[in-house]
Amino acid sequence: MDNKKRVLVTGAGGFIGHHLVKRLKEEGYCVRGADIKYPEYEASAADEFEVLDLRKAENCLLATRGGIDEAYNLAADMGGIGYITSSHAEISRNNILINSHMLEASRQNGVKRFLFSSSACVYNQSKQIDPDVKPLREEDAYPADPEAGYGWEKLFAEELCRYYYRDYGFETRIVRFHNVYGPLGTYDGGKEKAPAALYRKIALAEDDGEIEIWDDG
């Protein structure tokens, strides 16, 4: 990497991470991408891309080495509502490992700023039952009643980011994504979001055929 601001994007093989890498490159950053897989549909624009299993602490230390200024932690085991409601233990275990190891590795390696990608699944479910739901506010995540598994581990990781700021002065930021999909996003295989699955079914349907539609929450 050269003397430009150095950033790390984890989850750079995924939908949001892949697009974020392109945006950061356009803005003149030097970008390292890290993920357990390469992007599905086009090559990454990152200056360097490392295939790493970030559930392992030593790989998080590798990803954050070399004077990284900012880390955007988008790495996660996730998918559509069908996936995240059927794999509570696996998703929770994988993401808790990724997030805790990434925070500690970033702190140890002197990363200046850390962004954690959370989810709307952290919000209290009782506030989302009425079809005339009011716009959610940040504080509506408490009292806590998030989505089982995925939502709970995201809410815990948010708290962990706050602890790292309070205890170590490590500058962290949190964003909560809602239902995100678009060009170059996963559209089959079981981890796709409902809109992508719906569009795929419509595109592949025969004339006068029928498609199955299920609710994404």
Task: Give the C-alpha distances (Å, rounded to integers) separating 45 from 23, 39, 42, 89.
Answer: 9, 10, 9, 34
How many Å apart are CA 120 and CA 72, to the nearest integer?
A: 18
How many Å apart are CA 105 and CA 65, to the nearest integer?
A: 9
Asked if 54 contacts 63 with a C-beta cutoff of 8 angstroms, the reply is yes
Q: State which amino acid sits at residue 166.
A: R
How many Å apart are CA 39 and CA 36, to the nearest integer?
A: 10
Q: State which amino acid sits at residue 104.
A: E
* Tally of helices (H runs) and strands (E runs) in the chain: 6, 6
**CA neighbours within 13 Å on the CB side: how many for 191?**
10
Q: What positions carry a catalytic annotation?
A: 150
Q: State which amino acid sits at residue 9.
A: V
